[in-house]
Structure 1
Amino acid sequence: MTDLATDQTLATLLRIANALERIAPPARKAADLTLADAFVWHPAGSELAPVAKVNRVALSLLRGVDRVRDTLAENTERFAKGLPANNVLLWGARGMGKSSLVKSVHADTNRRLKGEGSQSGPLPLKLIEIHREDIESLPVLMGLLRPDAHRAIVFCDDLSFDGEDTSYKSLKAALDGGVEGRPGNVVFYATSNRRHLMPRDMMDNERSTAINPGEAIEEKVSLSDRFGLWLGFHKCSQDEYLAMIDGYVGHFGLAIAPETLRQEALEWATTRGSRSGRTAWQYIQDLAGRLGKPLEG
């Protein structure tokens, strides 16, 4: 081969190498969990985006959920201290504070651990949100977190599966079933309106069309078994709804006559056809806006 041919071959190989380098995915960066206490997972770039200010309310303002609040707080504190803890499924009525409770318990746990003031105490607990549509990337996220010294709650809001959706298999493997299993420094918290993470008609359809109805739904229903704690949320009573309203009014210093407040709050719930923590908060936003009072603190 002549020198010219050799040079041309080398030039061609160099162009191919450069082209492959351009289209190759970027090298996965190690997560820097010191940047914030909360992050959002972006699987496209294997990136954990820090959240400067988490959208949450004070734990004391969440009313009507005392039992599940205490159970979740206890599980979270044990985990933050390096003790065994369970994955948690918060399921039930819409608008009753499932996701709010996760975020508030996370903040309260860090506040209490910091208050203990031990130099050798646990590092701050991290909260990492993964979107429902990104569940298939959960094993990648788990692998990214596994070597980190911090402990983290991976949190998915409004988790459910429909029809032919098979991404639940990634979740099952990441939580318990895979070869590596769940990292010891990670727990998974999810909220859902469905106890078994799938609609009732989907389960009934599986039963009616399968040769073995029991086995047909067992694989999908067994997903909820990966959660050691099931915390149920139910519709609130009128008294609980009004207690939520009173708590917000006192916390934000909204000036309104008690009888007027009660009348307006009940009318607000009636026009929306439900009483819930979300309905209470929406009324408070309306009230604060009419009073010209920012909701801060």
Structure 2
Amino acid sequence: MLGKDLLLGLTFYRQIADNEVVRSWQKLMEEVDGAIPAKTIDAYHRFNALALEYKWPDFLLDLILDDDNLFSRTAANKGTEIPPSLREIARRDLQLLQEVANLTPQLIKERVVKNLQDNEAWDIPTDHPLHPNNWPQWDQEIGGLSNTSVEEKDSSGAEWLFAARKKIKKALAEHSLVEGMDALVTHYKEVGFGIFGHYAAVRWYKDHFQGRFKGIKNPDPIQLDDLVGLEREKKIVIENTEHFLAGLPSNNVLLYGNRGTGKSSMVKALLNSYVKKGLRLVELAKNDLQDFAQICQLLENEPFKFIIFIDDLSFDDNEPEYKVLKTLIEGGIQTRPENILVYATSNRKHLIKETHEERQSEVHGRDVQDEKLSLSDRFGITVTFTSPDQNEYLKIVESLAAQNSLSIDRDELHQLALRWVLMQKGRSGRTAKQLVDKLVAQAKFDGTEFSKE
């Protein structure tokens, strides 16, 4: 037996066998001992193509780290206090998966030659490209295992998770999977498992009316320190978020203000600051609000804290979804899970457009207005983001220029910033950042630095 029965013995990690690459590996194992050379050749080269694309056996470690099973969930919740019976089953699974990882292309090719050398259908000369001696092969080494700190202050959430994965892969590659089981348990506890152990932010994605979480590979790396001139707003949002992560009473948050004032950036920066403490972000589009209850059901038993992020939330008068959201956030029979908060941004303080007729009617207008205000009231905290005045805007530009090490005369920078405002039709943190990004790109493209006078 070379390996065709190894995956049959898995218990906790059984769903790994359903992966496309692993199924191709299984097919190869079945054909290695077969009597039909053409099927063996085809199975080997099909798997080799996938192995090269997905970097096998490094990919197998990814499947182990991402697997959502009883062992990984128990480890995430209890750490090293895992019942001995579960630990023993996991040890056995990891031993089997280690054997899978240890099967090198050279061992497989040697087995093929041994099995087919007396087969009458096998008449390929040793110098022919289809002879096993000349088959291409994948790199058996685990890649990308250089030492990387996972405590870097300014690392983004995605960078921190990536570094943590490299650290555990290095530990597992230096030993066997069984010997590294304690390190694996620690990883599940400190970093997580499944899609939320792989991605700091996910998006709720609808495909043929079926919703699922889809990982966001490169979320915005913005840091809280990058949000210049928003100290009051940061203090309010950070305090609420830290209460949430500590298991204390906390509120849904509505971030309201003009475009470009830093509302969305605030939420993204929170993720990068608190991913190490178990915070994850779920991006939800307004059109998918009807799935809110389903999303909560999927998340409520996860060992993470989730911010459901609804960007640019507002409703016209004829959109009934606002009533759905109002009930879902607060007011329905089912309470919101304790590990979920809603952070939404909007250009409308009360979220719903007010009509002229409602403003003119004293009685009916007040009733309708109360109905519409009841949605924004569901957000226990409303943080207002205002457009900066000229002095504040120039301070933001100066700070961003300093963060990017732009060497430029202060008066010249101010002149550029004021001209830029006229072109962009308004002052905002976004406008300031766009200017500084342009200046940085210009300096790098020209290969020169702005000189101080």
Structure 1 residue 229: Cα displacement: 0.2
The one of 113, 119, 128 aligned to 2:282: 128
Give distance in 2, aligned partners of 1:265 and 1:198: 35
CA contact (8 A) 1:57 1:104 kept: yes
Structure 1 residue 63: Cα displacement: 1.6
1:5-36 residue CA offsets vs partner (Å, 9 max, x unmatched): xxxxxxxxxxxxxxxxxxxxxxxx99742221
CA contact (8 A) 1:210 1:216 kept: no
CA contact (8 A) 1:196 1:221 kept: yes
Q: Which deviates more from structure 2 when the two are superposed, residues 46-55 or residues 229-238?
A: 46-55
Q: How does 1:29-178 map to 2 (within 5 A)?
A: 32-44=195-207, 45-110=210-275, 114=276, 124-178=278-332
SS at match of 2:249: coil
Aligned residues: 253
Give distance in 2, aligned partners of 1:93 and 1:61: 19
Which residue number corresponds to residue 269 of structure 1? 421
SS at match of 1:177: coil
Which residue number corresponds to residue 4 of structure 1? none
The one of 372, 396, 400 aligned to 1:244: 396
Which residue number corresponds to residue 181 of structure 2? none
Structure 1 residue 208: Cα displacement: 4.2
1:32-86 residue CA offsets vs partner (Å, 9 max, x unmatched): 4222111111144321111222114221121221111111001001101211110
1:131-151 residue CA offsets vs partner (Å, 9 max, x unmatched): 122222222211211222211
Structure 1 residue 211: Cα displacement: 6.7
Structure 2 counterpart of 1:280, which letter? A
Structure 1 residue 160: Cα displacement: 0.1
Unaligned runs of 5+ in 2: 1-67, 70-193, 447-453
Unaligned runs of 5+ in 1: 1-28, 115-122
CA contact (8 A) 1:129 1:155 kept: yes
Pair 1:192 & 2:346 matched: yes
Structure 1 residue 217: Cα displacement: 2.8
CA contact (8 A) 1:142 1:174 kept: no
CA contact (8 A) 2:204 2:211 kept: yes
Which residue number corresponds to residue 222 of structure 1? 374
Structure 1 residue 198: Cα displacement: 1.8
SS at match of 1:73: helix
1:112-146 residue CA offsets vs partner (Å, 9 max, x unmatched): xx4xxxxxxxx511111111222222222112112
1:79-103 residue CA offsets vs partner (Å, 9 max, x unmatched): 0121111000000122110000111
Structure 2 counterpart of 1:34, which letter? G
Structure 2 counterpart of 1:142, which letter? C
Q: How does 1:191-210 map to 2 (within 5 A)?
A: 191-200=345-354, 202=355, 204-208=356-360
1:240-289 residue CA offsets vs partner (Å, 9 max, x unmatched): 11121112211122232222111101110122221100110111122122
Which residue number corresponds to residue 281 of structure 1? 433
Give distance in 1, aligned partners of 2:362 and 2:301: 43
CA contact (8 A) 1:89 1:227 kept: yes
Give distance in 1, aligned partners of 2:387 and 2:342: 25
Give distance in 2, aligned partners of 1:134 and 1:293: 42
SS at match of 1:205: helix
Q: Which deviates more from structure 2 when the two are superposed, residues 43-52 or residues 58-67?
A: 43-52
Give 1 or 2 for the bigger CA radius of gyration. 2
Aligned residues: percent identity?
36
CA contact (8 A) 1:207 1:216 kept: no
Give distance in 2, aligned partners of 1:285 and 1:205: 45
Structure 1 counterpart of 2:415, which letter? Q
Q: TM-score, normalised by structure 2?
A: 0.53
Give distance in 1, aligned partners of 2:299 and 2:223: 28
Structure 1 residue 207: Cα displacement: 4.6
Structure 1 residue 232: Cα displacement: 0.5
CA RMSD of superposed structures (Å): 2.2
Structure 2 counterpart of 1:124, which letter? G
Q: TM-score, normalised by structure 1?
A: 0.79
CA contact (8 A) 2:281 2:307 kept: yes
CA contact (8 A) 1:99 1:191 kept: yes
Give distance in 1, aligned partners of 2:359 and 2:298: 39
